[in-house]
């Protein structure tokens, strides 16, 4: 079973916040997600989610770069504060990225700092029942200078942290650009994956506009024991309503 979440930072982005959430319900998606929480009215968001009987699947839960040892205390503090906000909003998943590559530091030092930050927040995450997902981003098209692009290095970091509440955000768009081999990667590493994002390549538009065969990908995910959300983080090239309905159809047929 594929549980769909709509990222309302990219889908319905032309609408006011309350109308975006209402549109999620109108199109019969079960959940929505968003990026940073500091510029959001979380009480309003929670009330709207309850009003429309929707789950809030995920939100961004970091701030300071995880790669910079001098920012380690701030990175930990940012995540701890986000855990408290997630508890209040009943959000099960927090999203974090590595931050930029520090040009004056060896990659091994930066990776060690990422691991140290995540180890420090692991117990609070476990106590709260919230999962933090570390997201690799592609550097070939969208995020030049980011430290973590490889899902395989992501798994290496997660093994070192060794917490059931620290996992990977597998963004199929980013990983297709970075390394390909999507279905085999998912099958082999699904135990480390805590959230998915989808968009087609090239262009980051809806499934069906590019080179990825999302029906096969959804079927591969559905054949595993993954029970989390698959977040739609794309910019619709055509009709937003048609794009969402097609994703929901693909999910229902997986």
> What is the token pair recorded at 91?
């959000």
CB atoms within 10 A of CB 108: 8
The predicted-structure confidence for 50-87, as pLDDT tens digits, reads as follows 999 999 999 999 889 999 999 999 999 999 999 999 99
DSSP state of 13: T
Structural contact between residues 237 and 204, judged by C-beta atoms closer than 8 angstroms: no
Catalytic residue among 106, 153, 156, 233: 233
pTM metric for this prediction: 0.97
Tell me, what's the pLDDT at 83? 98
CATH superfamily of 3-209+219-252: Divalent-metal-dependent TIM barrel enzymes (3.20.20.150)
- Under the banding of pLDDT at 50, 70 and 90, the label for residue 1 is confident
233 is catalytic: yes
Catalytic residue among 9, 84, 135, 188: 135
Count of residues in the chain? 254
CB contact set of 194 (below 8 Å; sequence gap of 6+): 93, 131, 132, 133, 167, 168, 169, 228
Structural contact between residues 79 and 96, judged by C-beta atoms closer than 8 angstroms: yes
Say what angle helices 72-89 and 42-51 make with each other, to 10 degrees: 30
């Amino acid at each position: 079973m594929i549980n769909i979440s709509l990222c309302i930072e990219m889908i319905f982005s032309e609408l006011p916040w309350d109308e975006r959430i209402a549109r999620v319900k109108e199109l019969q998606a079960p959940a929505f997600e968003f990026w940073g929480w500091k510029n959001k009215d979380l009480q309003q968001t929670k009330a709207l989610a309850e009003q429309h009987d929707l789950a809030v699947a995920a939100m961004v839960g970091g701030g300071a770069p995880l790669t910079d040892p001098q920012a380690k205390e701030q990175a930990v503090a940012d995540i701890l504060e986000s855990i408290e906000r997630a508890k209040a909003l009943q959000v099960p998943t927090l999203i974090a990225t590595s931050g930029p590559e520090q040009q004056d530091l060896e990659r091994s030092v930066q990776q060690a700092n990422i691991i140290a930050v995540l180890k420090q927040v692991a117990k609070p995450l476990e106590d709260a029942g919230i999962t933090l997902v570390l997201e690799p981003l592609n550097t070939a098209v969208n995020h030049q200078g980011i430290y973590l692009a490889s899902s395989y290095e992501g798994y290496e970091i997660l093994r070192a942290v060794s917490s059931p509440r620290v996992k990977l955000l597998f963004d199929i768009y980013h990983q297709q650009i970075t390394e390909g081999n999507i279905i085999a990667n998912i099958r082999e590493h699904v135990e480390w994956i805590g959230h998915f994002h989808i968009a087609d390549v090239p262009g980051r538009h809806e499934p069906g506009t590019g080179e990825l065969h999302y029906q096969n990908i959804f079927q591969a995910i559905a054949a595993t024991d993954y029970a989390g959300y698959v977040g739609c983080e794309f910019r619709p090239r055509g009709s937003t309503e048609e794009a969402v309905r097609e994703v929901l159809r693909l999910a229902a047929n997986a």
